[in-house]
Amino acid sequence: MLKRFFVALIVLISGITFAQEGTSSPYSFYGIGELKFKGTVENRSMGGISVFTDSIHLNIQNPASVARLGLVNYTVGGSHRVTRLKNTSESEQSTATSLGYIAIGVPMGKFGASFGLIPFTSVGYDVQLDDANGTEIYQGTGGLNKAFLTLAYQITPELSAGVDANYNFGNIENTAVAFLDDVQFGSREFNKSDLLGFSFNFGLAYHRMITEELELMASATYTPETNFKSNNVRERATVVMSPGSNELIAIDSEMEEVPNTDFTFPSQYTLGVGVGKPKKWFVGAEYTDQKTSNFNNRTFEITNVTFTDATKVRLGGFYIPDYKSFTSYFKRMVYRAGFRFEETGISVDGTKINEFGISFGVGLPVGRLFSNVNVGFEFGRRGTTDFNLIQENFFNTYISLSLNDRWFQKRYYD
């Protein structure tokens, strides 16, 4: 199993620096891009909740959960997104496919550890605006990735604590082109930022049987403010459109000195609680608050946008008809569903950009040691068409492998 996992790892990692452009949202222009969901397909299929933990799935949202692992877990996941963008007068469709995460979790007695790689933010937009004065084109690509190392400790049989250490790295490119009807040539401004920074995420996880059949789970995570360094480059050019194509030709260009900047990525905390019957069903809820009102942009000012505190509310759970069934495969499947509502923290011309999603999925048992293939789906909406803003209606498909193995097991025969 380990060989098969690393073959898949090598194949997928060749595309991860990946699939940074796992979005086609014009709202990814703001800040350092669209924040990617930090969690597995199992979590995402339950509305994104992270409060549930067990011994056979790796939870990469709450570092404390790693202490509960009973087996070595290898997990990898990806997604495909179909988005229809529209305003009051027109609409178009786009697609994006990206790698979601690669991670390994290792139990070590009362300790647990994990490490892996996930996308952190994503930038990907291509917008053209036409009016009586001319044409403006805005394009953006790139994003940040996160390499993480987690260590957790089982303080008591009910309580565990953990910490993630993260190295965040990547680059973002923004291009703005303008052609005026009464001017022969156009202008282009290109901005590139190479970003890096370290961050930490602290977590607590608590679980306890409150009756003979019901188990209570609670969780808390906190991410302090993170200081990122941004090495910035700007180029201004006079351009002309090549006849018969949409290719831009630069007539002259000039590099402009732009100071490197430090900016602070805001802190956030998440609180969760849930109840369920072990190996049968679970229902949980979470609340997240992120201080994005303290956020500042990388290199240039945006006059029509303000940042407010972002909040998220998530509800979800799962149901297993009979995990020990020998007669029905469908009874051993895990059925998941959830809902989320988010205030993204972006306000354009005084209008808040909100997002919601409804998700569902299944866990398909494979092989031995409780390994599984997980498939999830989500449909939802971000933004609004009011005030000629852009509304995104999206449908996401997720798939992951969660493979379990035993290490350091004494063999009595070869």
**CA–CA–CA angle 102, 108, 109 (5° rounding):** 140
CA 250, distance to chain mean position in Å, is 36
Q: Report the 10 Å Cβ neighbour count for 331.
A: 13
- Answer whether residue 3 shows pLDDT above 70: no
Q: Write the DSSP symbol of residue 123.
A: E
What's residue 45's pLDDT? Answer: 97
User: 360: closest CA among 333, 379, 341?
Assistant: 379
Percent of the chain having pLDDT more than 70?
A: 90
Those residues with Cβ within 8 angstroms of residue 189's Cβ, 6 or more apart along the chain or in another chain: 175, 176, 234, 235, 236
Backbone angles phi, psi at 259, to 5 degrees: -65, 145
pLDDT digits (tens, 9 = 90+) for 318-347: 999 999 888 999 999 999 999 999 999 888
Backbone angles phi, psi at 315, to 5 degrees: -130, 140
As a whole number, mean pLDDT of residues 54-79 equals 94
Q: Are 297 and 306 in contact (CB under 8 A)?
A: no
Band (206; pLDDT cuts 50, 70, 90)? very high
Q: Most distant CA pair in the chain: distance in Å?
A: 84
User: 360: closest CA among 35, 90, 45, 82?
Assistant: 45
- Rounded to two decimals, the pTM is 0.88
What's residue 9's pLDDT? Answer: 45
What's residue 265's pLDDT? Answer: 84
Residue that the structure tokens 């260009």 belong to = 253
Beta bridge partners of 62: none
pLDDT digits (tens, 9 = 90+) for 248-277: 788 888 888 888 888 788 899 999 999 999
Please give the Cα distance from 73 to 54 (Å, whole number): 12
Please give the Cα distance from 166 to 200 (Å, whole number): 6
What's residue 297's pLDDT? Answer: 58
- Answer whether residue 394 shows pLDDT above 50: yes
As a whole number, mean pLDDT of residues 175-201 equals 89
What's residue 302's pLDDT? Answer: 67
- Answer whether residue 5 shows pLDDT above 50: no
Those residues with Cβ within 8 angstroms of residue 38's Cβ, 6 or more apart along the chain or in another chain: 60, 61, 118, 120, 146
Q: Domains of the chain (ranges plus CATH)?
A: 2-405 (2.40.160.60)
What's residue 92's pLDDT? Answer: 87
What's residue 305's pLDDT? Answer: 81
Half-sphere exposure for 26 (CA within 13 Å, toward CB): 21
Q: Determine which helix (DSSP H) or strand (DSSP E) holds 4, and give its type and residue range.
A: helix 2-13
As a whole number, mean pLDDT of residues 115-122 equals 92
CA 330, distance to chain mean position in Å, is 30
Burial of 104 (0-12, 13-18, 19+ CB in 10 A): buried
Q: Is 393 helix (H, G, I), strand (E, B) or coil?
A: strand
As a whole number, mean pLDDT of residues 113-134 equals 87
Q: Are 404 and 69 in contact (CB under 8 A)?
A: no
Q: Report residue 49 as tokens.
A: 């909740």
- Answer whether residue 308 shows pLDDT above 70: yes
What's residue 19's pLDDT? Answer: 41
Q: Are 12 and 74 in contact (CB under 8 A)?
A: no
As a whole number, mean pLDDT of residues 386-410 equals 86
Please give the Cα distance from 364 to 323 (Å, whole number): 11
Please give the Cα distance from 170 to 191 (Å, whole number): 14
Query: When comparing pLDDT for 381 and 307, which is higher?
Result: 381
pLDDT digits (tens, 9 = 90+) for 81-90: 999 988 888 8
What's residue 318's pLDDT? Answer: 98
Please give the Cα distance from 170 to 20 (Å, whole number): 9
The mean predicted confidence, pLDDT, of the chain is 87
Backbone angles phi, psi at 248, to 5 degrees: -90, 135
pLDDT digits (tens, 9 = 90+) for 136-171: 888 888 989 999 999 999 999 999 999 999 999 999
Percent of the chain having pLDDT more than 90?
A: 56
As a whole number, mean pLDDT of residues 208-224 equals 96
Residues 67, 68, 73, 79: is their CA dihedral positive or negative?
negative
Q: Report residue 301 as tokens.
A: 């000012």
pLDDT digits (tens, 9 = 90+) for 354-363: 999 999 999 9
Query: When comparing pLDDT for 93 and 277, which is higher?
Result: 277
Residue that the structure tokens 């509800």 belong to = 315
